Chain A
Amino acid sequence: MKEGATIFQRRIVIGAAMCVAAFALVVVRLVDVTVFHAAQRRSVAANIASYRTDLVDRNGQILARDIPVQDLYARPHAFWDTAYAAHALAQAAGVGEPALLKKFTQAKKPYVFVARALTPDGQDRVMHAGLPGLEFQPGYKRYYPDGRATAQVLGVTGLDDDGETIGLSGLEMGLDPKLRDGEPGQSVALSIDMRVQYILAHEVEASRNEFSAKQAGGLVLDVRTGEVLGMVSLPDFDPNARTLGTGDTEHNLVGQDVFELGSVFKIFSFTLATEDHKMRPDEILPIGNGYKIGRFTIHEAEHMPATLAARDVLALSSNIGTTQIALRSGPQRQREFLERMGLLNAIHTELPEARRPQFPVHWGQVETATVSFGHGISVSPLAFAAAAAAIVNGGRKIVPTFLKHPEDGRGEQLIKPETSEKMRDLLRYVVTNGTGKKADVPGYDVGGKTGSAQKARIGGHGYEHKLVTSFCAVFPVHDPRYLVFVVLDEPHGTKQTFGFALAGYTAAPLAGRVISRIAPILGVPQHQDPIVVARGTP
């Protein structure tokens, strides 16, 4: 006969059951912590930004780098006095107290973000506050050593919804996939040459101040490789500051905007006529006081002689002469040619913000005339420079790039090499005998063309009495390596320019100064014959 369990055995069973229950509790808690609350534990770690690859210029100089900083987080439930903690942290970390207090009181997660990118000084101040529940997470802050000088090209970074650093503008945005999740020591080499960039920025700013221009910009392009060695747009901004200062803008005039560039566009009209054998440089054209097309009359910006040789039409920038030459090719051929040159489509580079060009929907005789001298068609300076580079580099297409690419990047043949050579001669003639005289640099053969466009009224028809002046220069013109394009928005004449604000007085000298400073740095061979020096001696 089986006896019932003794009291001793029952106690053992109860003890064993309690042990099992205790272990079961531990297991449940373990599962809870490791599985169900894993996301909360990772919330701080998720905010640690990954390293973003460095940007360096073509010579290896750092343009943008992530530098290590500390992000500050707090656990509000660890504070004895939340209001005091908010006050102390706000003072130590330099953040807004009311917002911080609101974060602490309404916190749904165990960690609350307090301040980003604390410097070692800031970290010390926070530690001296003596608060519990603080945690520092190492992070990175994007720093731009050259500040404003490269701001419009490089752009800035920010955080997306997941706390990941992403490019918000400029090359930071355009090259974002290449720059994400890098390793310290890795870099992306840009085509920018910081020496050229600085000179361009310095001279463009000086001209903007001299002529009280609303905006100004410029770029230097290698006509063989397509590399952009420098790009400047003013006003600019401080990429290391979190907010824009008064008068600052992130808007890139050269890469983003489209303009009616005016007479600088005559380069394309003459190229087309030369390519199609519709013009000889020495043929004489009647100019007169106006050229009627239907109910419209084309006028000159300045007084012109009664007749001009075709080369002087370009050199003195005659609208009437250019109109006659353009009409020989006709609307359809002109449109085809400009499309082939890439001027009727948005330009695609590593800069992400390119706007589409604007051009006439109905392209008739009048439109052919206005487009021939750069009105009625708006293109970006960068697109213009790429097309102009193709004209002087032997007639082959280039695609501008902001990545270092020292190899020859010339592609499809757009115009005949002979046309390219003739155009280089004509551009040199503009500088030696025409409106571009102030762009000439002794020792270097500069060729170029001025452009003075009246600004179109915003939201209406007609034009204002305000100018956009530009100059497109190539050097050395008989074997071109570089193209310099500068633009001034609403320049004003000065005493030195006798009150004139046309491109020959404002943009041409700016291009000349830029070339005189960058040409020796870029190793462009000087004119071998020192007679140029002797001419300068009285």
Chain B
Amino acid sequence: MIRVFNFFCIALMGLSILALYDVSEKTRLTRVDLDKTRHAIAQEQGQISVLETDWARVAGPERVATLAQSKLGLDNTSAVQLSSFEQLPRNGEDSPLSQSPLRNANAEAPAQ
């Protein structure tokens, strides 16, 4: 009886060793995969970083201004041509320029 029990224990130990080895090997392989994935993420992040930097270069004001002037014929706007939302008339209101000297000046111009 004791021999059977001993054999059973040894067999169990052997199976445990095999199972442990299997788990350990799977863990090792998973760790290798994890390292590869981490490396790939780091590489992608590096590439994203380079792309962001390149975007900052190509979308910089100097380049945009040069392109806007050469390709679209745009130029700097005079400050008086610009306004703000606060100065725009609300629905139903008269334009701020409707009673302004600008309109009056135009109306009076032919008479001068």
Q: Tell me the A residues contacting B by CB distance below 8 Å.
A: 61-63, 65, 67-68, 143, 145-146, 149, 184, 194-195, 198-199, 201-202, 441-444, 515-517, 519-520, 523, 525-526, 528, 530-537
Q: Which residue of A lies closest to B61 (CB)?
A: A198
In the complex, B31 has a CB within 8 A of chain A: no
Report Cα–Cα, A444/B82, bound state, in Å.
12
- 11 A-B Cβ contacts within 8 A? A67-B50, A145-B57, A146-B56, A149-B60, A184-B49, A194-B61, A199-B61, A443-B80, A444-B79, A530-B96, A531-B100
Q: Tell me the B residues contacting A by CB distance below 8 Å.
A: 45-46, 49-50, 52-54, 56-57, 60-62, 65, 76-80, 82-84, 86-87, 96-97, 100-102, 104-106
Report Cα–Cα, A195/B65, bound state, in Å.
11
Q: Is the CB of A195 within 8 A of B101?
A: no
Given contacts A145-B57, A441-B79, A533-B80, 13 further A-B contacts (CB under 8 A): A67-B49, A67-B53, A145-B60, A194-B60, A198-B65, A525-B84, A526-B80, A530-B97, A531-B100, A534-B101, A534-B102, A534-B104, A534-B105
Report Cα–Cα, A202/B60, bound state, in Å.
13
Among the interface residues B56, B57, B104, which one has the most CB atoms of the partner chain A within 10 A? B56
Known: A68-B49, A145-B53, A198-B60. A443 touches B84 (CB 8 A): no
Report Cα–Cα, A461/B57, bound state, in Å.
48
> Which B residues are CB-close (under 8 A) to A533?
80, 100, 102
Report Cα–Cα, A517/B82, bound state, in Å.
10
Q: Is the CB of B62 within 8 A of A198?
A: yes
Report Cα–Cα, A520/B56, bound state, in Å.
23
Q: Is the CB of B106 within 8 A of A537?
A: yes
> Which A residues are CB-close (under 8 A) to B78?
516
Known: A526-B84, A531-B101, A534-B100. A519 touches B57 (CB 8 A): no
Report Cα–Cα, A535/B45, bound state, in Å.
57
Report Cα–Cα, A199/B64, bound state, in Å.
12
User: Top 8 nearest A-B pairs by Cβ distance?
Assistant: A534-B101, A198-B61, A145-B56, A145-B57, A68-B46, A534-B102, A62-B56, A516-B79
> Which A residues are CB-close (under 8 A) to B101?
530-531, 534-535
Known: A65-B53, A526-B84. A443 touches B62 (CB 8 A): no
Q: Is the CB of B102 within 8 A of A61?
A: no
- Min distance, Cβ B41 to any Cβ of chain A, angstroms: 11
Q: Is the CB of A537 within 8 A of B102?
A: yes
Q: Which residue of A lies closest to B50 (CB)?
A: A67
> Which A residues are CB-close (under 8 A) to B79?
441-444, 515-517, 519-520, 526
Among the interface residues B60, B76, B82, B86, which one has the most CB atoms of the partner chain A within 10 A? B60
Report Cα–Cα, A149/B105, bound state, in Å.
43
Among the interface residues B50, B53, B87, B97, which one has the most CB atoms of the partner chain A within 10 A? B53
Q: Is the CB of A146 within 8 A of B102?
A: no
- Min distance, Cβ A70 to any Cβ of chain B, angstroms: 11
Q: Is the CB of B80 within 8 A of A62?
A: no
